[in-house]
Amino acid sequence: MQTITTVAELRATLAKARDKRVGFVPTMGYLHDGHMALVEGSRAQCDVTVLSIFVNPTQFGPNEDLSTYPRAFLRDQKLCRDPGVTIVFAPDAQEVYPAQFETFIEPGEFAKPLCGAFRPGHFRGVATVVCKLFNIVQPDIAFFGQKDFQQCAVVRRMAIDLNLPVEIATVPTVREPDMLAMSSRNRYLNTEERRRALAISRGLLAAEAEFRSGERECEKLIAIARRHLNEVDRLQYLELVDVDTLEPASNPLSHPAALCAAAYVGSTRLIDNVILKPQVSA
């Protein structure tokens, strides 16, 4: 496992591996098992895995947690040693955004609902840094977690729209034993908040169970989830959207849809989702 901090060195190193299948796992660090599942996905399909660690300033709003976002570089490096990461790419902000940087990717409709409605500019920052990282690494496949459902949709749309020669793979959400979705931000939660944060997965999974038992009415599925969510401090959204369009799903549910939630527990904003896939009848 090699750690590289400059674009030039990464390019020179990867130039020697151009006959190999390169997998890419973009992260903001503070790695957990959810990230490791992305690494595992890459290891299974690729010869080389590049994992980037970069807390991207352009995807944080002015009142968000950029300065306090958890960072643990040495621990992250150690975690990357075992499971098949070939290169950790850990550039600093100047390396990614040189002086006078002014060119951004502006995502379209996919960036507007859900998190986009509450975090203006967030997906512009995500799309811009992901596009830059794709250009730097030039991976064959890039791996993203389903927890960031809308991010996956925005990135996949960008790759199609801009003819980026990369396959986008989505890896299922990894959960703690009590079903809280893994997230670097979980570390902000104190014991009491950590307990109440479980309401989010509990609600989503209750709706999923009802869906498996045959419920196909969108409002009923949302209502089941909502019943559990009274333990959070502020529910930002709870929406059932079509996975392909991100528009509100329609009754009766007959096309895959994502039930997505974002909520504050204390001052920590958490997101989670479940994908509901009706069987397509022959």
List contacts with ligand PAF (CB under 6 A). 26-28, 56, 59, 126, 129-130, 148, 151
Shortest CB 126 distance to ligand PAF, Å: 5
**Please, which residue, 224 or 271, has the CB nearer to ligand PAF?**
271
Evaluate the omega torsion of the peptide bond into residue 57 and state whether it is cis, within 30 degrees of 0: no
Q: Which amino acid is at 151?
A: Q
- What is the set of active-site residues? 35
Sheet of 141-145, strands arranged across: 2-4, 87-89, 48-53, 22-27, 141-145, 167-171
Q: Assign residue 214 a region (left: φ > 0; alpha: ψ between -120 and 50; beta: otherwise).
A: left
**Please, which residue, 23 or 26, has the CB nearer to ligand PAF?**
26
CA angle (215, 220, 221) in 5-degree steps: 70
**Tokens describing residue 82:** 């075992």
Which of 139, 133, 131 is closest to 46 using CA atoms? 139
Q: How far apart (Å, rounded) are the C-alpha atoms in residues 185 and 191?
A: 14
Shortest CB 27 distance to ligand PAF, Å: 5
**CA–CA distances in Å: residue 17 to residues 4, 47, 87:** 15, 9, 12
Shortest CB 83 distance to ligand PAF, Å: 18
**Please, which residue, 27 or 146, has the CB nearer to ligand PAF?**
27
Largest CA distance in the chain: 57
Q: Which amino acid is at 81?
A: R
The alpha carbon dihedral of 205, 172, 170, 124 has a sign of positive
Shortest CB 180 distance to ligand PAF, Å: 17
Q: How far apart (Å, rounded) are the C-alpha atoms in residues 219 and 87?
A: 46
**Please, which residue, 29 or 84, has the CB nearer to ligand PAF?**
29
Q: Which amino acid is at 217?
A: E
Shortest CB 124 distance to ligand PAF, Å: 12
**Please, which residue, 86 or 150, has the CB nearer to ligand PAF?**
150
